[in-house]
């Protein structure tokens, strides 16, 4: 249908809007580059792509078709880049590659692969299947109702993943990681300054790794799970709400426990936080509130001098305790 390069320079209206709708072949993908503004992509039951953009009179939106890829790019007729807010409707299964610098990215109702990256802005995705890669530096990232090979990263904000399945790789520096309703046999979650919460499955033969430098780690584990748990904390407690037999203590601050056959492997490590093992249903997941007041000044000091001071404290006065007691809801 569209086999050759077709470039459409979309003219500016007096109100600073761009609107166009065009048919796309089956299997087409979408690439969007918006320097500043919003990118909102929704899936719909049509073999068409609809583009609506709001922008100033200097702004412009270029749409082109190259091979099987729809390309949408914001620009400016003169001067610095213009702020452009895009709303794009695409077929549900269309693969997405979305990017920007000062861009807020939102995706809803998709069933294909998704890649979304921004420097300063939130990334919020609902849906997706296959390879899913979400990244932001100065923005929180959330993902829900997705499956596949999932990689989510941030630097200075929180990460929330809910109702997801597949292989998960999650990493942030100054933020919390919250994973709920997860079905997975392979999970890795790492943060420097923040808590890690995992409320999901621990399946036979699975691999699970959770670590934080300055934060607590909370993991749900069924009492009948077949898992070998290795827990390490330099200046915190290990607390389980069910019997947790110690099988070995390979170091002063590291313990190994075994439930059932121990076929799964679960590692939890925190320097300055507690490690909590809870039964399914005992963890209350706090949803992200964009308006809540969070003071990260103390927790997020990642300077070399502060790290050195913290390490001195860790190794100078270890205070580790292993506690196994019934968990009591507040």
Query: Mean per-residue pLDDT for 168-172?
Result: 97
Domains of the chain by residue range: 1-157, 200-284+318-330
Residue 142 corresponds to which tokens in the numbers above? 């959330």
Flag whether pLDDT at 128 surpasses 90.
yes
**What is the pLDDT confidence band of residue 16, given thresholds at 50, 70 and 90?**
confident
Model confidence over 245-272: pLDDT tens digits? 877 676 678 899 999 999 999 999 999 9
Label the pairing between strands 207-214 and 217-220.
Answer: unpaired
Model confidence over 33-45: pLDDT tens digits? 999 999 999 999 9
C-alpha dihedral, 128 to 158 to 237 to 305, nearest 10°: 140
φ/ψ (deg, to 5) at 52: -125, 130
Q: What is the pLDDT, as a whole number, of residue 328? A: 36
Cα angle vertex 23, ends 124, 97, to 5°? 30
Flag whether pLDDT at 130 surpasses 80.
yes
Q: Are 101 and 139 in contact (CB under 8 A)?
A: no
Model confidence over 173-200: pLDDT tens digits? 999 999 999 999 999 999 999 999 999 9
Q: 2: which DSSP letter?
A: -
Flag whether pLDDT at 309 surpasses 80.
no
Q: Are 273 and 212 in contact (CB under 8 A)?
A: yes
Query: Mean per-residue pLDDT for 207-215?
Result: 96
Give 252 or 277, the one with higher predicted confidence: 277
Residue 193 corresponds to which tokens in the numbers above? 């300054």
Give 291 or 249, the one with higher predicted confidence: 249
Q: What is the pLDDT, as a whole number, of residue 24? A: 94
Distance separating alpha carbons of residues 40 and 128, to the nearest angstrom = 15
Q: What is the pLDDT, as a whole number, of residue 251? A: 64
Residue 242 corresponds to which tokens in the numbers above? 């069910």
Flag whether pLDDT at 315 surpasses 50.
no
Q: Mean pLDDT across the chain, nearest whole number?
A: 84
Distance separating alpha carbons of residues 191 and 175, to the nearest angstrom = 7
**What is the pLDDT confidence band of residue 288, given thresholds at 50, 70 and 90?**
low
Residue 158 corresponds to which tokens in the numbers above? 């929180």
Say what the pTM is: 0.83
């Amino acid at each position: 249908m569209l086999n050759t390069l077709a470039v459409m320079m979309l003219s500016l209206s007096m109100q600073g809007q761009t609107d166009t709708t065009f048919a796309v072949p089956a299997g087409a993908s979408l690439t969007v580059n918006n320097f500043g503004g919003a990118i909102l992509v929704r899936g719909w039951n049509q073999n068409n792509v609809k583009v609506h953009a709001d922008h100033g009179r200097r702004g412009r939106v270029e749409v082109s078709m190259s091979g099987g890829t729809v390309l949408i790019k914001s620009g400016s007729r003169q001067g610095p880049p213009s702020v452009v807010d895009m709303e794009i409707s695409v077929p549900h299964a269309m693969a997405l590659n979305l990017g920007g610098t000062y861009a807020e990215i939102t995706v809803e109702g998709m069933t294909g692969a998704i890649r979304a990256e921004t420097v300063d802005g939130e990334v919020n995705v609902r849906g997706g299947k296959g390879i899913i890669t979400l990244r932001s530096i100065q923005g929180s990232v959330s993902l829900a109702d997705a499956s596949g090979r999932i990689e989510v990263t941030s630097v200075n904000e929180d990460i929330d993943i809910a109702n997801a399945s597949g292989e998960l790789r999650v990493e942030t520096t100054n933020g919390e990681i919250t994973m709920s309703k997860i079905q997975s046999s392979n999970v890795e979650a790492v943060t420097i300054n923040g808590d890690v919460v995992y409320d999901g499955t621990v399946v036979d033969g699975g691999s699970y790794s959770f670590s934080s430098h300055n934060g607590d780690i909370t993991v749900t584990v069924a009492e009948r799970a077949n898992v070998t748990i290795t827990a390490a904390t330099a200046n915190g407690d290990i607390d389980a709400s069910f019997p947790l037999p110690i099988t070995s203590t390979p170091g002063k601050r590291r313990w190994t426990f075994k439930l059932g056959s121990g076929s799964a492997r679960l590692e939890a490590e925190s320097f300055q936080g507690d490690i909590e093992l809870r039964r399914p249903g005992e963890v209350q997941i706090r949803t992200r509130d964009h308006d809540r007041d969070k003071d990260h000044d103390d927790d997020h000091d990642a300077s070399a001098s502060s790290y050195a001071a913290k390490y001195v404290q860790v190794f100078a006065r270890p205070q580790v305790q292993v506690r196994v007691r019934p968990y009591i809801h507040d």
